[in-house]
Amino acid sequence: MLEKRIIVCLDVRDGKTTKGVKFKGNIDIGDPVAMARQYYEQGTDELVFYDITASTEDRGIMIRVVEEVAQEIFIPFSVGGGIGSVQDMRRVILAGAEKVSVNSQAVKNPGIIEEGASLFGSQCIVLGMDVLADKDFPSGYRVVINGGRVPTELDALAWALEAQKLGAGEIVLNSIDTDGMRDGYELTITRLISEAVTIPVVASGGAGRPEHLAAVLTQGRADAALIASMVHFGDYSVPQIKQYLHKEGIPIRSDWGL
């Protein structure tokens, strides 16, 4: 069985790591470069960096911060926020990222997935999806863009399948309903998409306890779990989470520092 991955997410606004609940009420909590180094040393498998206001402010990503983070860590590093062209992708990759994440811009221009996969390889292209429960859609979930501010007419499952067809190599699936609540991931849509696509699915939004990761990696069939609040606010460390998952028999990378 393939090892499951634990991924720490750094949402960045104005050069600072920030965290909110359901994409609202964000507070600044630290320096992303220092935090990236800390989580790398703790043994996180990957890091994700999101410039959360780049799309809504219609600007490019903060390349300087990407470069500084890349110099501090030696694990896979994914970057998203305001990436609207293959030129933007190239800048981020040259700055040190292994993967680029497209979300709002991919909805507005799906061809960017295909073009990016063709130039850099599918393994570099991640589709970020923010979804809301909505019974009017076939899957029961609607895709929302621009940091949760703009609802679309895209069905979550249909969009995941289309992105895979276009060449996305991974999907980060974030439930706005559970984001920052720390009550657990949205298992229904995670399992639905994980079982429908053949590319890895990273569950995001709602982790508060190690049990939540165990649930989404087993019941939700996710390939990886993205965490933020539970480590940012000191409730748990990455080693503690990995110890718990190991005891539960969930295959994870076992060379973390303890």
Check residue 256 and give its pLDDT.
46
Question: Is 11 an active-site residue?
Answer: yes
**Average pLDDT, integer, range 195-204:** 98
Whether residue 58 is predicted with pLDDT greater than 90 in this model: the reply is: no
Tokens 């993967």 belong to which residue?
99
Check residue 204 and give its pLDDT.
96
CATH number for the domain that contains residue 128: 3.20.20.70
Number of domain units in the chain: 1
Whether residue 150 is predicted with pLDDT greater than 60 in this model: the reply is: yes
Residue type, 22: K
256 is a domain residue: no
pTM, two decimals, is 0.90
Q: How many CB atoms lie within 10 A of CB 218?
A: 16
Check residue 257 and give its pLDDT.
46
Q: Which of 11, 45, 51, 179 is an active site residue?
A: 11
**Average pLDDT, integer, range 115-135:** 97
255 is a domain residue: no
**Average pLDDT, integer, range 21-28:** 52
Give the 3-state secondary structure of 177-223: CCCCCCCCCCHHHHHHHHHHCCCCEEEECCCCCHHHHHHHHHCCCCC
254/47 Cα distance (integer angstroms): 17
206 is a domain residue: yes
The sign of the dihedral angle between the CA atoms of 82, 86, 89, 91 is: negative
201/220 Cα distance (integer angstroms): 10
75 is a domain residue: yes
Check residue 144 and give its pLDDT.
96
Question: Where in the sequence is the domain holding 38, given as residue range(s)?
Answer: 5-247
253 is a domain residue: no
Average pLDDT, the chain: 89
91 is a domain residue: yes
139 is a domain residue: yes
Element (H, E) at 158: helix 156-166
CB contact set of 105 (below 8 Å; sequence gap of 6+): 55, 82, 83, 84, 112
Residue 192 or 34, more confident: 192
31/89 Cα distance (integer angstroms): 24
Check residue 16 and give its pLDDT.
67
Alpha-carbon torsion angle 75, 84, 35, 129, nearest 10: -80
Question: Is 235 an active-site residue?
Answer: no
Q: Which of 45, 51, 88, 130 is an active site residue?
A: 130
258 is a domain residue: no
Structure tokens at 149: 């501010």
